[in-house]
Amino acid sequence: MTRFAPALRKLTVAAATLLAVATAPSPAQAATEPQAPKGFVALSDVDPTIIQEMRYITPHNFVGDRIDGYRKPMCILTEPAAKALRKAQRRLLRAGYSLKVYDCYRPQRAVDQFVRWGEDLSDERMKAEFYPRVAKSRLFEDGYIAKKSGHSRGSTVDLTIVRLPAKPTRPYVPGEPLKPCYAPRSERFPDNSVDMGTGYDCMDTLSHTDDPRVSAKQRANRDRLRGALAKTGFVNLPEEWWHFTYKPEPFPDTYFDFPVSRRVLPVAHF
């Protein structure tokens, strides 16, 4: 067995090389990949201190799968939106907090996947966490799922606040028991953010930014996030405490579909 080992290793390396060549995108494919227009940037290039926990590249989301179009765990935004976040971050850092983004630019193909998932009433794998009190058949009617998203225009971001020093958040384990997103903080899925009253992407009226049922501390945390972002040009969606859009949007009428990947971005000059 020993005398065949070198030959076996050579065959294994050769097979791996052939597989890599076979699965790598061809030059023609790379050339046809949708590219981001000038004006889009990686948030980490503008402000590397903002924490990124990109949920849709993981299965910890209301669908339960990694979402189409998310190639890298990175936040892409229009340059004005990214620079506005940097201004808000500077204020929060002085107070001992940091922004943490969950989702930024979202390809149209991801939205299309949400729609297909919403139409499949048999798939309720993540219901116990993300929409426990809402019938899936009502997700479109109640406005939780739509065929277009402001995220695809590049100036909308989902985010929260983390008290510094930031503690790590444990990864989600597919198949683990799910807890309602509106449960007390100690009971729902752990998150290193301050307590906002619900988890991210909680499809429940308790997620409404000004819902009167949240505690005084939770309201103060929501107000801190909204106040910091309002000063730099962001407008909150009243139904989601985490959802903000920078105004005026550079691309108010365009829904992009380039993937979330650094290779599709134009060269940045700051």
Which are the catalytic amino acids? 240
Strands of the chain (E only): list them: 40-42, 51-52, 76-78, 97-103, 156-163, 234-236, 243-246
Strands, E assignment, 123-251: 156-163, 234-236, 243-246
Contact 155, 249 (CB under 8 A): yes
Residue 228 backbone phi and psi in degrees, to 5: -65, -40
Residue 87 near residue 66, CB atoms below 8 Å:
no
How crowded is the C-beta side of 213, counted as CA atoms within 13 Å? Answer: 10
Sheet holding 156-163, edge to edge: 51-52, 97-103, 156-163, 243-246, 234-236
Q: Is the peptide bond before 238 cis (omega within 30 degrees of 0)?
A: no
Indicate the angle between helix axes 79-94 and 216-230, nearest 10 degrees: 130
User: Which H helix or E strand runs over 79?
Assistant: helix 79-94
